[in-house]
Chains A and B, each alone.
Chain A
Amino acid sequence: MGKLDKFIEVGRVAFIANGKDSGKVCAIAEIIDQNRVLIDGPCSGVRRQVCDMKRLHLTRFCIDLPHSARTAVVRRKWTAAKLDEKWKETSWAKKLEARRLRTNMSDFDRFKLARAKQIRNSIIALAAGKIRKEAKAKPNALRFRKPNKKRHIKKE
Protein backbone atom coordinates (compact mmCIF):
# COMPACT_ATOMS: atom_id res chain seq x y z
CA MET A 1 0.00 0.00 0.00
CA GLY A 2 1.63 3.22 -1.20
CA LYS A 3 1.01 6.84 -0.42
CA LEU A 4 -2.54 8.03 -1.13
CA ASP A 5 -1.34 10.95 -3.21
CA LYS A 6 -2.88 10.15 -6.60
CA PHE A 7 -6.58 10.74 -6.85
CA ILE A 8 -9.22 10.20 -9.44
CA GLU A 9 -10.08 13.78 -10.27
CA VAL A 10 -10.91 15.83 -13.29
CA GLY A 11 -7.69 16.44 -15.14
CA ARG A 12 -5.80 13.45 -13.72
CA VAL A 13 -3.63 11.79 -16.34
CA ALA A 14 -4.19 8.05 -16.29
CA PHE A 15 -2.63 5.05 -18.00
CA ILE A 16 -5.06 2.55 -19.55
CA ALA A 17 -3.92 -0.86 -18.44
CA ASN A 18 -6.10 -3.28 -20.39
CA GLY A 19 -8.69 -3.62 -23.10
CA LYS A 20 -8.78 -1.46 -26.20
CA ASP A 21 -6.31 1.48 -26.09
CA SER A 22 -4.25 -0.36 -23.48
CA GLY A 23 -0.84 1.18 -23.08
CA LYS A 24 -2.02 4.72 -23.80
CA VAL A 25 -2.38 7.70 -21.48
CA CYS A 26 -5.48 9.84 -21.23
CA ALA A 27 -7.00 12.58 -19.10
CA ILE A 28 -10.05 12.21 -16.88
CA ALA A 29 -12.66 14.64 -18.15
CA GLU A 30 -15.53 13.80 -15.82
CA ILE A 31 -16.41 11.45 -12.99
CA ILE A 32 -19.62 9.58 -13.65
CA ASP A 33 -20.13 7.51 -10.54
CA GLN A 34 -18.21 5.40 -8.07
CA ASN A 35 -16.81 3.09 -10.70
CA ARG A 36 -16.75 4.96 -13.99
CA VAL A 37 -15.12 8.04 -15.43
CA LEU A 38 -15.19 9.84 -18.74
CA ILE A 39 -11.74 9.81 -20.31
CA ASP A 40 -10.31 11.65 -23.28
CA GLY A 41 -6.90 11.49 -24.89
CA PRO A 42 -6.93 13.49 -28.12
CA CYS A 43 -3.13 13.74 -28.25
CA SER A 44 -2.57 10.06 -27.52
CA GLY A 45 -5.24 8.59 -29.77
CA VAL A 46 -7.82 7.74 -27.13
CA ARG A 47 -11.40 8.55 -28.08
CA ARG A 48 -13.60 10.31 -25.59
CA GLN A 49 -15.35 7.45 -23.82
CA VAL A 50 -16.58 6.00 -20.56
CA CYS A 51 -13.99 3.98 -18.77
CA ASP A 52 -14.05 1.80 -15.67
CA MET A 53 -11.76 3.04 -12.91
CA LYS A 54 -10.36 -0.45 -12.51
CA ARG A 55 -8.78 -0.20 -15.97
CA LEU A 56 -6.93 2.97 -15.11
CA HIS A 57 -3.57 3.26 -13.43
CA LEU A 58 -3.07 6.81 -12.21
CA THR A 59 0.05 8.79 -13.04
CA ARG A 60 1.49 11.63 -11.01
CA PHE A 61 0.45 14.17 -13.64
CA CYS A 62 -2.62 16.32 -13.42
CA ILE A 63 -3.74 19.02 -15.81
CA ASP A 64 -5.97 21.95 -15.03
CA LEU A 65 -9.24 20.93 -16.68
CA PRO A 66 -12.72 22.24 -16.09
CA HIS A 67 -15.08 19.32 -15.57
CA SER A 68 -16.81 17.95 -18.72
CA ALA A 69 -14.31 19.85 -20.85
CA ARG A 70 -14.72 19.04 -24.49
CA THR A 71 -12.03 17.36 -26.53
CA ALA A 72 -10.61 20.57 -28.01
CA VAL A 73 -10.09 21.99 -24.54
CA VAL A 74 -8.41 18.80 -23.36
CA ARG A 75 -6.12 18.93 -26.36
CA ARG A 76 -5.22 22.57 -25.69
CA LYS A 77 -4.43 21.97 -22.01
CA TRP A 78 -2.52 18.78 -22.78
CA THR A 79 -0.20 20.39 -25.32
CA ALA A 80 0.24 23.45 -23.09
CA ALA A 81 1.37 21.20 -20.25
CA LYS A 82 3.68 19.29 -22.66
CA LEU A 83 2.44 16.03 -21.26
CA ASP A 84 3.68 13.89 -24.18
CA GLU A 85 7.30 14.77 -23.39
CA LYS A 86 6.80 14.56 -19.61
CA TRP A 87 5.25 11.12 -19.92
CA LYS A 88 8.05 9.84 -22.16
CA GLU A 89 10.65 10.99 -19.62
CA THR A 90 9.15 8.99 -16.76
CA SER A 91 10.82 5.72 -15.91
CA TRP A 92 7.39 4.07 -16.20
CA ALA A 93 7.17 4.97 -19.88
CA LYS A 94 10.80 4.08 -20.42
CA LYS A 95 10.31 0.63 -18.97
CA LEU A 96 7.26 0.09 -21.19
CA GLU A 97 9.26 1.11 -24.23
CA ALA A 98 12.13 -1.20 -23.27
CA ARG A 99 9.69 -4.08 -22.85
CA ARG A 100 8.12 -3.32 -26.22
CA LEU A 101 11.51 -3.27 -27.94
CA ARG A 102 12.50 -6.53 -26.31
CA THR A 103 9.36 -8.39 -27.43
CA ASN A 104 9.66 -7.06 -30.97
CA MET A 105 13.27 -8.15 -31.40
CA SER A 106 13.80 -10.30 -34.45
CA ASP A 107 16.05 -13.36 -34.46
CA PHE A 108 18.92 -11.26 -35.85
CA ASP A 109 18.38 -8.61 -33.16
CA ARG A 110 18.56 -11.25 -30.48
CA PHE A 111 21.78 -12.52 -31.96
CA LYS A 112 23.27 -9.01 -32.06
CA LEU A 113 22.26 -8.43 -28.44
CA ALA A 114 23.81 -11.69 -27.30
CA ARG A 115 26.98 -10.93 -29.21
CA ALA A 116 27.16 -7.40 -27.74
CA LYS A 117 26.76 -8.83 -24.22
CA GLN A 118 29.46 -11.39 -24.90
CA ILE A 119 31.91 -8.74 -26.12
CA ARG A 120 31.16 -6.52 -23.14
CA ASN A 121 31.59 -9.39 -20.70
CA SER A 122 34.89 -10.43 -22.21
CA ILE A 123 36.19 -6.85 -21.87
CA ILE A 124 35.10 -6.83 -18.22
CA ALA A 125 36.61 -10.26 -17.60
CA LEU A 126 39.91 -9.22 -19.12
CA ALA A 127 40.06 -6.04 -17.07
CA ALA A 128 39.11 -7.89 -13.87
CA GLY A 129 41.75 -10.50 -14.61
CA LYS A 130 44.38 -7.80 -14.95
CA ILE A 131 43.47 -6.25 -11.61
CA ARG A 132 43.55 -9.65 -9.95
CA LYS A 133 46.97 -10.34 -11.40
CA GLU A 134 48.36 -7.02 -10.19
CA ALA A 135 46.90 -7.60 -6.73
CA LYS A 136 48.54 -11.02 -6.50
CA ALA A 137 51.86 -9.51 -7.49
CA LYS A 138 51.77 -7.24 -4.39
CA PRO A 139 52.22 -9.58 -1.40
CA ASN A 140 51.68 -7.15 1.48
CA ALA A 141 48.92 -4.99 0.04
CA LEU A 142 45.22 -5.44 0.80
CA ARG A 143 43.92 -8.35 -1.16
CA PHE A 144 40.37 -8.82 -2.24
CA ARG A 145 38.82 -11.64 -0.31
CA LYS A 146 35.41 -12.70 0.87
CA PRO A 147 34.25 -10.41 3.64
CA ASN A 148 34.52 -12.19 6.92
CA LYS A 149 31.38 -11.46 8.88
CA LYS A 150 32.86 -12.60 12.16
CA ARG A 151 35.14 -9.60 12.37
CA HIS A 152 36.76 -10.50 15.68
CA ILE A 153 38.01 -13.83 14.26
CA LYS A 154 40.96 -13.33 11.98
CA LYS A 155 41.15 -15.76 9.07
CA GLU A 156 44.58 -16.32 7.62
Chain B
Amino acid sequence: MAPKAQKKPQGKQMAKSSAPHKPKNSAINASRLMKYSRARIFQRKAAYKVKKVKTPAKKSAEKAAAAAAFVVKKIGGDKNGGERKVYKKTPKSLPTQVASRKVQLRPKKTFKKHVRRIRSNLAPGAVLILLAGRHKGKRVVLLKQLESGLLLVTGPRKLNGCPLRRVSQRYVIGTKTRIDISKVALPERLNDAYFRRQRSAKKSAASAGGSADIFAKSDAAYAVSAERREDQAAVDKALMGAIKASGDGPMLRSYLRSLFSIKSGQRPHAMVF
Protein backbone atom coordinates (compact mmCIF):
# COMPACT_ATOMS: atom_id res chain seq x y z
CA MET B 1 0.00 0.00 0.00
CA ALA B 2 1.29 3.46 -0.86
CA PRO B 3 2.39 5.48 2.12
CA LYS B 4 0.31 8.44 3.29
CA ALA B 5 1.00 11.67 1.40
CA GLN B 6 2.92 14.03 3.64
CA LYS B 7 1.76 17.59 3.92
CA LYS B 8 5.26 19.06 4.47
CA PRO B 9 8.32 17.34 3.00
CA GLN B 10 11.34 17.36 5.33
CA GLY B 11 14.09 19.96 5.00
CA LYS B 12 11.78 22.47 3.36
CA GLN B 13 11.98 26.11 4.34
CA MET B 14 8.80 28.00 3.60
CA ALA B 15 8.46 31.75 3.33
CA LYS B 16 6.21 32.78 6.16
CA SER B 17 2.91 34.08 4.85
CA SER B 18 0.39 36.07 6.81
CA ALA B 19 -2.55 34.12 5.37
CA PRO B 20 -3.83 31.14 7.43
CA HIS B 21 -2.58 27.73 6.33
CA LYS B 22 -4.91 25.99 3.90
CA PRO B 23 -3.94 22.35 3.51
CA LYS B 24 -3.65 21.32 -0.14
CA ASN B 25 -4.46 17.73 0.63
CA SER B 26 -7.42 16.34 2.50
CA ALA B 27 -8.66 13.03 3.72
CA ILE B 28 -11.46 11.32 1.84
CA ASN B 29 -12.64 8.99 4.56
CA ALA B 30 -12.22 8.23 8.20
CA SER B 31 -9.16 6.02 7.69
CA ARG B 32 -7.25 8.99 6.29
CA LEU B 33 -7.10 7.98 2.65
CA MET B 34 -5.79 11.14 1.02
CA LYS B 35 -7.27 12.79 -2.02
CA TYR B 36 -3.93 13.40 -3.69
CA SER B 37 -1.06 10.94 -3.83
CA ARG B 38 2.45 11.86 -2.78
CA ALA B 39 3.55 12.48 -6.37
CA ARG B 40 0.52 14.68 -7.11
CA ILE B 41 1.08 16.74 -3.98
CA PHE B 42 4.71 17.22 -4.95
CA GLN B 43 3.47 18.73 -8.20
CA ARG B 44 0.70 20.79 -6.65
CA LYS B 45 2.98 22.34 -4.09
CA ALA B 46 5.71 22.93 -6.66
CA ALA B 47 8.14 21.29 -4.30
CA TYR B 48 10.58 20.81 -7.20
CA LYS B 49 11.29 24.55 -6.95
CA VAL B 50 12.32 24.39 -3.34
CA LYS B 51 16.04 24.09 -2.68
CA LYS B 52 17.01 21.55 -0.06
CA VAL B 53 19.08 22.94 2.80
CA LYS B 54 21.87 20.80 4.14
CA THR B 55 21.84 20.58 7.91
CA PRO B 56 25.40 21.04 9.24
CA ALA B 57 27.20 18.16 10.95
CA LYS B 58 26.69 18.59 14.68
CA LYS B 59 29.59 16.52 15.98
CA SER B 60 33.20 17.07 14.98
CA ALA B 61 35.26 14.13 13.86
CA GLU B 62 37.28 13.87 17.08
CA LYS B 63 34.22 13.81 19.28
CA ALA B 64 32.77 11.13 17.09
CA ALA B 65 35.91 9.04 17.39
CA ALA B 66 35.95 9.36 21.17
CA ALA B 67 32.29 8.48 21.45
CA ALA B 68 32.62 5.45 19.17
CA ALA B 69 32.45 2.02 20.71
CA PHE B 70 35.55 0.87 18.89
CA VAL B 71 39.08 1.99 18.08
CA VAL B 72 40.56 1.66 14.64
CA LYS B 73 44.02 0.10 14.86
CA LYS B 74 46.58 -0.56 12.23
CA ILE B 75 47.88 -4.04 11.82
CA GLY B 76 50.74 -5.48 9.87
CA GLY B 77 50.69 -7.89 7.02
CA ASP B 78 50.14 -7.26 3.34
CA LYS B 79 47.02 -9.20 2.90
CA ASN B 80 45.24 -8.41 6.18
CA GLY B 81 43.43 -5.28 5.09
CA GLY B 82 45.70 -2.95 7.15
CA GLU B 83 43.09 -2.04 9.83
CA ARG B 84 40.98 -3.62 12.46
CA LYS B 85 38.08 -2.26 14.54
CA VAL B 86 38.85 -3.11 18.12
CA TYR B 87 35.77 -2.85 20.32
CA LYS B 88 36.24 -1.22 23.70
CA LYS B 89 33.57 -3.28 25.28
CA THR B 90 32.31 -6.21 23.31
CA PRO B 91 28.83 -5.38 22.16
CA LYS B 92 26.15 -7.96 22.66
CA SER B 93 25.89 -8.55 18.99
CA LEU B 94 28.04 -7.68 15.98
CA PRO B 95 25.53 -7.64 13.22
CA THR B 96 26.58 -8.30 9.68
CA GLN B 97 23.52 -6.57 8.29
CA VAL B 98 21.88 -3.33 9.24
CA ALA B 99 18.69 -4.19 11.04
CA SER B 100 15.73 -2.52 9.40
CA ARG B 101 13.71 -0.55 11.89
CA LYS B 102 10.04 -1.27 12.04
CA VAL B 103 8.13 1.95 11.79
CA GLN B 104 6.06 2.51 14.93
CA LEU B 105 2.86 4.08 13.74
CA ARG B 106 1.42 4.02 17.27
CA PRO B 107 4.40 3.74 19.61
CA LYS B 108 4.02 2.16 23.05
CA LYS B 109 3.31 4.77 25.69
CA THR B 110 5.63 4.82 28.65
CA PHE B 111 4.14 4.86 32.13
CA LYS B 112 4.88 8.56 32.48
CA LYS B 113 2.68 9.33 29.50
CA HIS B 114 -0.28 7.26 30.61
CA VAL B 115 -3.50 9.17 31.09
CA ARG B 116 -4.34 9.52 34.75
CA ARG B 117 -8.01 9.33 35.46
CA ILE B 118 -9.86 9.96 38.66
CA ARG B 119 -13.29 8.74 39.62
CA SER B 120 -15.86 11.50 39.34
CA ASN B 121 -16.95 11.26 42.96
CA LEU B 122 -13.40 11.72 44.29
CA ALA B 123 -12.50 15.36 44.79
CA PRO B 124 -10.04 17.01 47.16
CA GLY B 125 -11.63 17.16 50.58
CA ALA B 126 -13.68 14.00 50.13
CA VAL B 127 -13.80 11.48 52.94
CA LEU B 128 -12.66 8.07 51.72
CA ILE B 129 -13.00 4.63 53.23
CA LEU B 130 -9.81 2.58 52.84
CA LEU B 131 -10.54 -1.01 51.94
CA ALA B 132 -7.08 -2.59 51.99
CA GLY B 133 -3.69 -2.19 53.56
CA ARG B 134 -2.75 -1.65 57.15
CA HIS B 135 -5.25 1.19 57.47
CA LYS B 136 -8.22 -0.72 56.14
CA GLY B 137 -11.59 0.35 57.44
CA LYS B 138 -10.33 3.82 58.30
CA ARG B 139 -12.02 6.96 57.08
CA VAL B 140 -9.47 9.39 55.71
CA VAL B 141 -9.44 12.71 53.92
CA LEU B 142 -8.35 12.98 50.28
CA LEU B 143 -5.90 15.82 49.69
CA LYS B 144 -5.07 15.51 46.02
CA GLN B 145 -4.17 13.18 43.17
CA LEU B 146 -0.44 12.82 42.56
CA GLU B 147 1.20 12.64 39.16
CA SER B 148 1.40 8.88 39.18
CA GLY B 149 -2.37 8.73 39.62
CA LEU B 150 -2.25 7.64 43.26
CA LEU B 151 -4.25 9.57 45.81
CA LEU B 152 -2.61 11.52 48.61
CA VAL B 153 -4.56 11.05 51.83
CA THR B 154 -4.17 11.83 55.48
CA GLY B 155 -6.10 10.58 58.56
CA PRO B 156 -5.64 13.18 60.01
CA ARG B 157 -3.07 11.23 61.97
CA LYS B 158 -4.32 12.67 65.25
CA LEU B 159 -7.77 11.18 64.70
CA ASN B 160 -7.12 7.74 63.26
CA GLY B 161 -3.42 7.15 62.98
CA CYS B 162 -3.27 7.25 59.22
CA PRO B 163 -0.34 9.43 58.11
CA LEU B 164 0.23 11.34 54.87
CA ARG B 165 0.10 8.44 52.53
CA ARG B 166 -0.41 7.36 48.96
CA VAL B 167 -3.34 5.16 48.19
CA SER B 168 -4.73 3.60 45.04
CA GLN B 169 -8.18 4.63 43.85
CA ARG B 170 -9.10 1.01 43.40
CA TYR B 171 -8.94 0.23 47.09
CA VAL B 172 -11.06 3.09 48.20
CA ILE B 173 -14.76 3.93 48.56
CA GLY B 174 -15.47 7.60 47.95
CA THR B 175 -18.18 8.93 50.24
CA LYS B 176 -20.39 11.94 49.64
CA THR B 177 -18.99 13.71 52.67
CA ARG B 178 -16.81 16.68 51.76
CA ILE B 179 -14.56 18.91 53.77
CA ASP B 180 -13.62 22.30 52.39
CA ILE B 181 -9.83 22.15 52.12
CA SER B 182 -9.38 25.20 49.93
CA LYS B 183 -7.61 26.92 52.83
CA VAL B 184 -5.33 23.93 53.49
CA ALA B 185 -1.94 24.64 51.93
CA LEU B 186 -0.12 21.46 50.97
CA PRO B 187 3.70 21.60 51.05
CA GLU B 188 5.23 21.71 47.58
CA ARG B 189 7.51 18.76 48.21
CA LEU B 190 4.67 16.23 48.57
CA ASN B 191 5.00 14.27 45.36
CA ASP B 192 5.66 10.71 44.23
CA ALA B 193 9.43 10.97 44.81
CA TYR B 194 8.81 12.01 48.42
CA PHE B 195 6.80 8.88 49.11
CA ARG B 196 8.96 6.51 47.15
CA ARG B 197 10.15 3.51 49.11
CA GLN B 198 13.81 3.77 50.06
CA ARG B 199 15.95 0.77 49.22
CA SER B 200 18.86 0.48 51.65
CA ALA B 201 22.10 1.55 49.90
CA LYS B 202 24.32 -1.11 51.47
CA LYS B 203 22.33 -4.00 50.09
CA SER B 204 22.40 -2.70 46.54
CA ALA B 205 26.19 -2.16 46.73
CA ALA B 206 26.68 -5.66 48.07
CA SER B 207 24.69 -7.25 45.29
CA ALA B 208 26.69 -5.34 42.70
CA GLY B 209 30.09 -6.13 44.22
CA GLY B 210 29.29 -9.63 45.34
CA SER B 211 31.95 -9.54 48.01
CA ALA B 212 29.97 -8.51 51.09
CA ASP B 213 28.48 -11.01 53.48
CA ILE B 214 25.12 -11.97 52.02
CA PHE B 215 23.73 -12.86 55.43
CA ALA B 216 24.43 -9.43 56.88
CA LYS B 217 21.18 -7.70 57.75
CA SER B 218 21.63 -4.25 56.33
CA ASP B 219 18.00 -3.12 56.66
CA ALA B 220 17.66 -0.62 59.45
CA ALA B 221 14.22 -0.34 61.03
CA TYR B 222 12.09 2.30 59.26
CA ALA B 223 12.49 5.62 61.02
CA VAL B 224 10.20 8.55 60.32
CA SER B 225 12.21 11.40 58.85
CA ALA B 226 12.08 14.88 60.30
CA GLU B 227 10.56 16.35 57.16
CA ARG B 228 7.72 13.82 57.31
CA ARG B 229 6.90 14.84 60.86
CA GLU B 230 7.03 18.47 59.88
CA ASP B 231 4.73 18.03 56.88
CA GLN B 232 2.32 15.83 58.80
CA ALA B 233 2.01 18.38 61.59
CA ALA B 234 1.51 21.27 59.17
CA VAL B 235 -1.12 19.54 57.05
CA ASP B 236 -2.99 18.09 60.01
CA LYS B 237 -3.15 21.41 61.80
CA ALA B 238 -4.68 23.08 58.75
CA LEU B 239 -7.02 20.14 58.18
CA MET B 240 -8.25 20.06 61.79
CA GLY B 241 -9.00 23.76 61.40
CA ALA B 242 -11.00 23.05 58.27
CA ILE B 243 -12.93 20.27 60.04
CA LYS B 244 -13.70 22.56 62.94
CA ALA B 245 -14.88 25.27 60.55
CA SER B 246 -17.25 22.92 58.72
CA GLY B 247 -20.82 22.54 59.93
CA ASP B 248 -20.58 19.12 61.62
CA GLY B 249 -17.28 19.68 63.42
CA PRO B 250 -17.51 17.40 66.50
CA MET B 251 -19.48 14.72 64.64
CA LEU B 252 -16.99 14.75 61.77
CA ARG B 253 -14.15 14.24 64.20
CA SER B 254 -15.72 11.18 65.80
CA TYR B 255 -16.72 9.97 62.30
CA LEU B 256 -13.11 10.07 61.14
CA ARG B 257 -12.03 8.27 64.27
CA SER B 258 -14.47 5.42 63.73
CA LEU B 259 -13.91 2.37 61.57
CA PHE B 260 -16.11 1.25 58.71
CA SER B 261 -17.69 -2.18 58.70
CA ILE B 262 -20.55 -3.93 56.98
CA LYS B 263 -23.28 -4.80 59.44
CA SER B 264 -25.78 -7.58 59.14
CA GLY B 265 -28.49 -6.72 56.62
CA GLN B 266 -26.44 -4.07 54.85
CA ARG B 267 -25.94 -4.59 51.14
CA PRO B 268 -23.02 -2.56 49.79
CA HIS B 269 -24.33 -2.51 46.23
CA ALA B 270 -27.56 -0.93 47.42
CA MET B 271 -25.96 1.52 49.84
CA VAL B 272 -25.31 5.13 49.15
CA PHE B 273 -21.89 6.19 50.41
Q: Could you list which residues of chain A lie within 8 angstroms of chain B, going by C-beta atoms?
A: 103-108, 111-112, 115
- Smallest beta-carbon distance B239→chain A, Å: 17
In the bound assembly, the distance between CA atoms of A113 and B186 in angstroms comes to 33
> What are the 8 closest A-B residue pairs judged by CB atoms, nearest first?
A106-B176, A108-B177, A107-B175, A107-B273, A111-B255, A104-B272, A108-B255, A106-B272
In the bound assembly, the distance between CA atoms of A108 and B127 in angstroms comes to 9
**Closest A residue to B252 using CB positions:** A108
A-B contact pairs, 24 of them (CB 8 A): A104-B272, A105-B272, A106-B175, A106-B176, A106-B177, A106-B272, A106-B273, A107-B127, A107-B173, A107-B176, A107-B271, A108-B127, A108-B176, A108-B177, A108-B248, A108-B255, A111-B254, A111-B255, A111-B258, A112-B248, A112-B251, A112-B255, A115-B251, A115-B254
> Across the interface, which residues of A come within 8 angstroms of B272, CB to CB?
103-106
**Closest A residue to B176 using CB positions:** A106
The reply to whether A107 and B177 form a contact with Cβ atoms under 8 Å apart is: yes
B270 within 8 A of A: yes
**Among candidates A104, A107, A112, residue contacting B260 with C-beta atoms closer than 8 Å:** A107
Interface residues of B in 250-267 (CB under 8 A from A): 251-252, 254-255, 258, 260
> Across the interface, which residues of B come within 8 angstroms of A108, CB to CB?
127, 175-177, 248, 251-252, 255
In the bound assembly, the distance between CA atoms of A113 and B127 in angstroms comes to 18
B143 within 8 A of A: no
In the bound assembly, the distance between CA atoms of A106 and B271 in angstroms comes to 8
B129 within 8 A of A: yes
Q: Could you list which residues of chain B lie within 8 angstroms of chain A, going by C-beta atoms?
A: 127, 129, 139, 173, 175-177, 248, 251-252, 254-255, 258, 260, 270-273
- Smallest beta-carbon distance B271→chain A, Å: 8
In the bound assembly, the distance between CA atoms of A108 and B273 in angstroms comes to 8
> Across the interface, which residues of A come within 8 angstroms of B252, CB to CB?
108
In the bound assembly, the distance between CA atoms of A108 and B252 in angstroms comes to 8
In the bound assembly, the distance between CA atoms of A4 and B272 in angstroms comes to 40
**Closest A residue to B173 using CB positions:** A107
**Closest B residue to A104 using CB positions:** B272
In the bound assembly, the distance between CA atoms of A104 and B127 in angstroms comes to 17
In the bound assembly, the distance between CA atoms of A103 and B260 in angstroms comes to 18
In the bound assembly, the distance between CA atoms of A8 and B79 in angstroms comes to 116
- Smallest beta-carbon distance A92→chain B, Å: 23
Besides A103-B270, A107-B176, 14 other A-B contacts (C-beta < 8 A): A103-B272, A106-B175, A106-B272, A107-B139, A108-B127, A108-B175, A108-B251, A111-B251, A111-B254, A111-B255, A112-B248, A112-B251, A112-B255, A115-B251
> Across the interface, which residues of B come within 8 angstroms of A107, CB to CB?
127, 129, 139, 173, 175-177, 260, 271, 273
> Across the interface, which residues of A come within 8 angstroms of B260, CB to CB?
107
In the bound assembly, the distance between CA atoms of A115 and B127 in angstroms comes to 18
> Across the interface, which residues of A come within 8 angstroms of B177, CB to CB?
106-108
- Most chain-B Cβ atoms within 10 A of its Cβ — which of A105, A106, A108, A112? A108
In the bound assembly, the distance between CA atoms of A104 and B271 in angstroms comes to 8
- Smallest beta-carbon distance B139→chain A, Å: 8
> Across the interface, which residues of B come within 8 angstroms of A105, CB to CB?
272
- Smallest beta-carbon distance B128→chain A, Å: 10
- Smallest beta-carbon distance A100→chain B, Å: 11
